[in-house]
Amino acid sequence: MSTITVDGLLAEARAFLDANCRARNASDEAFVWGVGSDRVNILEEVEASRASAQLAEAKAYAARRFDAGFGWIDGPVEYGGRGLTAAHATAYQELEARYEIPNLSMLTIAVGFIGPALLAHASADLRAAYLRKLYRGDLVMCQLFSEPNAGSDLASARTRGVRDGDEWVVNGQKVWTSSAQIADLGLAVCRTDPDVPKHQGLTTFLVDMRAPGVEVRPLRQMTGSANFNEVFLTDVRVPDSHRVGDVNGGFRVILTTLGNERTIATRAPSSGRGIEPFERLVGVVDTFGDRSDARQRQRLAQLYIGDRVKHFLVERWRASLRPGVTPGPEMSVLKLHSCRHNAELVGMLTEVLGPRLAADAGEWGSFAWNEYVLSTPGARIGGGTEEIVRNTVGEKVLGLPKEPRA
| CATH number of the domain within which 241 lies | 2.40.110.10
Tell me the average pLDDT across 170-180. Answer: 94
Answer with the one of 222, 248, 274 that is the final residue of a domain. Answer: 248
pLDDT over 70 (residue 272): no
Predicted TM-score (pTM) of the model is: 0.81
Whether 264 and 369 share a structural domain: yes
Whether 196 and 266 share a structural domain: no
Residue 29 belongs to a domain: no
Residue 16 belongs to a domain: no
Rounded-to-integer distance, Cα 323 and Cα 328, Å: 13
Residue 347 belongs to a domain: yes
Q: CATH number of the domain that 312 lies in?
A: 1.20.140.10
Q: How confident is the model at residue 1 (pLDDT cuts 50, 70, 90)?
A: very low
- How many domains, the chain? 2
Quote the pLDDT of residue 270. Answer: 35
What residues form DSSP beta bridges with 144? Answer: 188
Residue 300 belongs to a domain: yes
Tell me the average pLDDT across 202-216. Answer: 98
Residue 51 belongs to a domain: no
pLDDT tens digits for range 352-366 = 999 999 999 999 999
Whether 270 and 213 share a structural domain: no
Whether 240 and 350 share a structural domain: no
For the chain, the first-to-last Cα distance in angstroms comes to 48
Whether 236 and 263 share a structural domain: no
Residue 388 belongs to a domain: yes
Whether 302 and 218 share a structural domain: no
Quote the pLDDT of residue 171. Answer: 98
pLDDT tens digits for range 178-206 = 899 999 999 999 999 999 998 899 999 99
pLDDT over 70 (residue 315): yes
Whether 387 and 298 share a structural domain: yes
Tell me the average pLDDT across 311-322. Answer: 75
Whether 174 and 292 share a structural domain: no
Q: Nearest 5°: phi and psi at 236?
A: -80, 130
Q: Nearest 5°: phi and psi at 220?
A: -80, 125
Residue 23 belongs to a domain: no
Rounded-to-integer distance, Cα 70 and Cα 4, Å: 13
| R_g of the chain, CA atoms, integer Å | 22
pLDDT tens digits for range 22-69 = 998 866 667 788 888 888 877 666 666 678 899 999 999 999 999 999
Amino acid at 80: G
- Identify the domain containing residue 150 by its residue range: 141-248
Answer with the one of 220, 248, 276 that is the final residue of a domain. Answer: 248
Whether 354 and 290 share a structural domain: yes
Whether 222 and 335 share a structural domain: no
Quote the pLDDT of residue 324. Answer: 54
Mean pLDDT comparison of 194-198, 238-242, 334-338, highest-scoring range: 238-242
Rounded-to-integer distance, Cα 382 and Cα 32, Å: 32
pLDDT over 90 (residue 220): no
Answer with the one of 229, 248, 267 that is the final residue of a domain. Answer: 248
pLDDT over 50 (residue 339): yes
Contacts of 397 (CB under 8 A, 6+ apart): 329, 330, 332, 333
Rounded-to-integer distance, Cα 308 and Cα 188, Å: 36
Whether 318 and 367 share a structural domain: yes
Q: For strands 243-244 and 228-239, give the pairing.
A: unpaired
Quote the pLDDT of residue 274. Answer: 35
Quote the pLDDT of residue 273. Answer: 36
Residue 22 belongs to a domain: no
Identify which of 346, 267, 360, 254 has the alpha carbon closest to the alpha carbon of residue 299.
Answer: 346
Higher pLDDT, 27 or 350: 350
Quote the pLDDT of residue 266. Answer: 39
CB of 383 within 8 A of CB of 262?
yes
Rounded-to-integer distance, Cα 237 and Cα 358, Å: 47
Higher pLDDT, 142 or 387: 142
Whether 265 and 333 share a structural domain: yes
Quote the pLDDT of residue 265. Answer: 40
